[in-house]
């Protein structure tokens, strides 16, 4: 009975975290296009990025907590841990967590007016979560191995 509830809550946190992962780099694109001497516009975008990043932390933690809870509650210990697709998924989620952490580094660089990357770089950076999402969905739904 616990599994469907844990899965629903996990999916909620995943969707919410990904919404932030899709939008935060888009704000970085806009920040990179605006001069840091632009004053009000730069500060507005910086404030949006800061608030969004702060909001994303509990979403990431909820994703991890409920995702791990699923693996420990379903059909006895060890059932999922022996599945190669789960190992691959966890690796992608770890990489996605590192991506989230790197977003914090980039935010600090914007806050300290030390960004040296172009808006084009951030447009490509913005696509990374899409690739993670595709990989994770294939692993969870198709389970190719």
89 labelled ligand-binding: yes
53 labelled ligand-binding: no
Tokens of 129: 């979560």
| Residues across the chain | 145
Percentage helix, strand, coil for the chain under 3-state DSSP, each rounded to 5: 80, 0, 20
Rounded Cα distance between 96 and 93, Å, is: 5
25: exposed, middle or buried (Cβ count in 10 Å: 0-12, 13-18, 19+)? buried
Residue whose tokens read 């030390």:
114
Cite the annotated binding site by residue number.
Answer: 10, 89
Cite the annotated binding site for heme by residue number.
Answer: 10, 89
């Amino acid at each position: 009975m616990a599994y469907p509830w844990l899965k629903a809550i996990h999916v909620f946190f995943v969707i919410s975290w990904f919404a932030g992962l899709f939008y935060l780099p888009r704000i970085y694109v806009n920040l990179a296009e605006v001069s840091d001497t632009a004053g009000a516009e730069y500060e507005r975008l910086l404030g949006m990025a800061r608030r969004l990043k702060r909001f994303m932390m509990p979403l990431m933690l909820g994703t991890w907590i409920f995702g791990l809870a699923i693996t420990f509650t379903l059909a006895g210990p060890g059932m999922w841990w022996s599945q190669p697709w789960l190992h691959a998924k966890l690796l992608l989620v770890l990489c996605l967590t590192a991506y989230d952490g790197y977003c914090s580094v980039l935010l600090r660089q914007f806050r300290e007016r030390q960004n040296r990357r172009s808006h084009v770089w951030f447009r490509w950076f913005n696509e990374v979560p899409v690739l993670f999402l595709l990989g994770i969905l294939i692993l969870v739904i198709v389970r190719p191995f």
